[in-house]
Amino acid sequence: MNPINHQFRLAARPVGLPKRSDWKYTEEPARDPGPGEVLVKISYISLDPAMRGWMNEGRSYIEPIKIGDVMRAGGVGHVVASQNPNFKAGDHVFGVLGVQEYATVDGKGLTKIDPNVAPLPVYLGALGITGLTAYFGLLEVGKPAPGETVVVSGAAGATGMVVGQIAKIKGGRAVGIAGGRDKCDYVVRELGFDACIDYKAENVLESLRRHCPQGINVYFDNVGGQILDAALACLARFGRVVLCGAISQYNATTPPQGPANYLSLLINSGRMEGFIVFNYASRYAEGVRELATWRAQGKLKTKEDIVEGFQTFPETLLKLFSGENFGKLMIKVADS
């Protein structure tokens, strides 16, 4: 008999912050894999700010989730049954598995992962999409040179903490912006950032001027809004702004706040460029290899924020928007 699978399916398009009634909790038997497919038992589900955007209607870099579909999510787990020659029972995999306990998916979308190299949760963070976002966004879009100052917002988050550490590995200065003293102390004392600005307690513009006396060479933006404006005001000549995300705007019910200080790009001959990590999909293996090497050498520290309990999904997702997560947020669904 097939195991019972529980799922969160999209029930309504949220207005503002999502609420539990925007999903329907469903139960059905896990489906046997067909030709080319694999049945995966999910261990950890990744919770990402992008999920909020996927719930909206309208054009984006990826199709919106349809009403009634299982909520889209990255996940890691192990193969239970396979009709794909590349996978066998017991293999550990990463893929877009959805907010559910079991996933029957095309093997083409799965990547094998090795729990001997790193624990499974790390493959949803520093050795997963957020680590790769930091890696390609900083190195390919930001292109920091040794000695340059890199500022990153969301600095204690999954993406931001990797950005600052790579900036240091590459011989730059790293200045973080994060919410609260604990997060700021962590990125400076544990991760080796040169400084961190607590945007909830400090005047960000004044603190940026103090910590970046030569200006900002690369600003890696995870949050948008007023913090983006403050960073633009401090841009160095030929400075680069990497538009990675704008979490301060994701739940807005009015059009997003644009950067008032955009003329700073003109007077500094600056560049502001958006990117999506999927643009680099053909190079993920290279990125994971280098990130894993830095991790093994002790140069890249990782932090995962693991919440127990599949049922908590709607409330746990909100931690990303309140800043209650500390590190890569995920839900543990089952032992691996």
Ligand X SMILES: NC(=O)c1ccc[n+]([C@@H]2O[C@H](COP(=O)([O-])OP(=O)(O)OC[C@H]3O[C@@H](n4cnc5c(N)ncnc54)[C@H](OP(=O)(O)O)[C@@H]3O)[C@@H](O)[C@H]2O)c1
Beta bridge partners of 26: 7
Pull the structure tokens for residue 42: 């999910």
Alpha-carbon Rg for the chain, nearest whole angstrom, is: 20
Q: How far is the CB of 165 from ligand X (least distance, A)?
A: 13
d(CA 106, CA 95): 10
Residue pair 300/169 in contact (Cβ under 8 Å)? The answer is yes
User: Chain-centre distance of CA 165, in angstroms?
Assistant: 15
- In this chain, which of 320, 330, 331, 333 binds ligand X, going by CB under 6 A? 320
Check binding of 195 to ligand X (CB under 6 A): no
Stretch that binds ligand X, among 83-91, 186-194, 273-281, 287-295 (CB under 6 A): 273-281
- Main-chain dihedrals φ then ψ at residue 329, nearest 5 degrees: -85, 135
Kindly tell me the number of DSSP H helices and DSSP E strands found in the chain: 9, 15
d(CA 88, CA 243): 39
- In this chain, which of 18, 144, 215, 245 binds ligand X, going by CB under 6 A? 245
First CA to last CA across the chain, in angstroms?
A: 21
Which residue's entry shows tokens 């550990």? 92
Check binding of 73 to ligand X (CB under 6 A): no
Nearer to ligand X by Cβ, of 233 and 276: the residue is 276
User: Chain-centre distance of CA 186, in angstroms?
Assistant: 19
- In this chain, which of 127, 178, 216, 330 binds ligand X, going by CB under 6 A? 178
Nearer to ligand X by Cβ, of 48 and 148: the residue is 48
Check binding of 248 to ligand X (CB under 6 A): yes
Check binding of 160 to ligand X (CB under 6 A): yes
AA identity, residue 66: K
Closest CA to 303 of 136, 139, 144, 178: 178
Check binding of 304 to ligand X (CB under 6 A): no
Stretch that binds ligand X, among 65-73, 163-171, 256-264, 322-330 (CB under 6 A): 322-330
Check binding of 303 to ligand X (CB under 6 A): no
Check binding of 323 to ligand X (CB under 6 A): yes
- In this chain, which of 241, 277, 288, 317 binds ligand X, going by CB under 6 A? 277
- In this chain, which of 276, 299, 301, 336 binds ligand X, going by CB under 6 A? 276
Residues that bind ligand X (CB under 6 A): 48-50, 129-130, 133, 154, 156-160, 178-180, 183, 222-223, 244-248, 275-277, 320-321, 323, 325, 329
